[in-house]
Amino acid sequence: MTFAAISSGGKDSTLAIFRALEKGMVLRYVISIIPTNQESYMFHFPNAGIARTHAELMGVPAIVKETPGVKEEELRELEEAIESVRDRVGSVSVGAVESAYQKERVQKICERMGINMFAPLWHRDPMKLWKECLDNGFRVMIVGVGCEGLGKEWLGRVIDKKALKELERLSRKHKFHLGGEGGEFETTVLDCPMFSRSIKVLEGETTWDGASGMFLIKEIKLVKKK
């Protein structure tokens, strides 16, 4: 089955693509909805534009639309993007783990268009998902934090096994979701098995307001895989 992937460039949407390809599904498009409002209910904000690069590295076209990020209204751009490929794909993948808000809205759009929704991470254990990423060579950077227990030092940090143990300890102590499903943190994938090359961050900017912040990627370089 062919599919289009809704992707923010983060770990969950990228892992959903990985799972789909493992099942023999064929990726045709990457759909990226970029909010201009960081308070978007539906879409990941920090570095969402990196999904264009992900599409390039996976050898498929990117369908990119901007949205003002207004609750419910931001679904219009997503529906338009899916509509543009509905005759060429049989399914749409999403990286939803716990967010019923996201999953239900994508499901309704897909049902109206007569295509399937593939949500392979739904209600999966977040630690198992992290381990699956690391075991398969994903390089995942924290690019946004917004909860008690995660400070400025996490911005721009690439998660390895040591960092994952620390993240797990903090999630237990401060009661935040280990997958970041409540907006506690956001991620960007710099490498994974589907990429033809790796992404190297050459320049970034950290913003911090005392309680939350972002690491905004300013310049990248595509390099050969090690």
**Residue 40 belongs to domain with CATH number:** 3.40.50.620
Cα-Cα end-to-end distance for the chain: 31
Per the model's pLDDT, the better-predicted residue between 178 and 39 turns out to be 178
Confidence of residue 38 (pLDDT cuts 50, 70, 90): low
Is pLDDT larger for residue 181 or for residue 24?
24
The pLDDT, as a whole number, for residue 41 is 45
At 166, list the tokens. 């620390």
| 63 plus 12 within the same structural domain | yes
- Domain stops at, among 118, 143, 178: 118
SS3 215: strand
> What is the spatial distance between Cα 61 and Cα 45, in angstroms, rounded to a whole number?
21
Domain that holds residue 64: 2-118
Burial 104-140 (b: 16+ CB within 10 A, else e): ebbbebbeeeebebbbbbbebebeebbebbbeeebbb
Contact 189, 9 (CB under 8 A): yes
Q: Percentage of residues in the chain with pLDDT exceeding 70?
A: 92
18 and 103 co-located in one domain: yes
pLDDT in tens, 77-104: 889 999 999 999 999 999 999 878 788 9
In this structure, the answer to whether residues 77 and 148 fall within a common structural domain is no
Pairing assessment for the beta strands 213-223 and 198-208 based on DSSP bridges:
antiparallel
Residues 130 and 114 in one domain: no
**Domains of the chain: total:** 2
Token couple for 68: 């003002």
Predicted confidence (pLDDT) per residue in 206-221, tens digit: 999 988 999 999 999 9
**Residue 199: per-residue pLDDT:** 96
